[in-house]
Amino acid sequence: MIPIIVASIIFFDQLTKFLATKLLPLNAPVSIIDNFFNLTLVHNKGAAFGILKEQVVFFILVTLAAIVIIALSLKAKDMSRLYKVALAFMLAGAIGNLIDRVFFGYVIDFLDFRIWPVFNIADSFITIGAVFFGYHTLFKK
């Protein structure tokens, strides 16, 4: 189940990034819902909120370490389904953004809600996974 979740998320992430790259102009918002949601293709050379720009090798190494830790954690036998899904979401998101960094030197972002930095599908799954992980850690025995 976990490999299917991870592969599906990576596929969806890479497909949407490919389409964004082919269909959207760089750094030019395309309004979908006025004053709320745009599609804006950006090349993020940093981390969240664009911090630490031009540190590609650093981000690749940190992401590889995170992937190894998550993959090893998924081997534990006594974890709940929610915990496994949380780790799978974070793993898939990390791999999706790692693919961009390795092949392009930046992460392709395109979802723009105007009140938040532009992000992508991989970022969304990392966030959802982190929320599930936090919920599980705080409220599940």
Q: Which residues of 108-137 are buried (b: 16+ CB within 10 A; e: fewer)?
A: bbbbbeeeeebbbbbbbbbebbeebbeebe
What's the total number of domains in the chain? 1
pLDDT value of position 140:
75
Cα separation, 38 vs 112, in Å, equals: 5
Show the low-confidence residues of the chain (pLDDT under 70): 47-52, 141
pLDDT value of position 40:
98
Q: Which of 13, 100, 109, 112 is catalytic?
A: 109
pLDDT value of position 88:
97
pLDDT value of position 7:
98
Cα separation, 74 vs 84, in Å, equals: 6
Q: Catalytic site residue 123?
A: yes
List, for residues 105-117, the tens digit of each pLDDT value.
999 999 999 999 9
Q: Which residues contact 115 (CB under 8 A, 6 or more apart)?
A: none
- Structural domain that includes position 10: 2-139
Q: Which of 13, 100, 112, 123 is catalytic?
A: 123
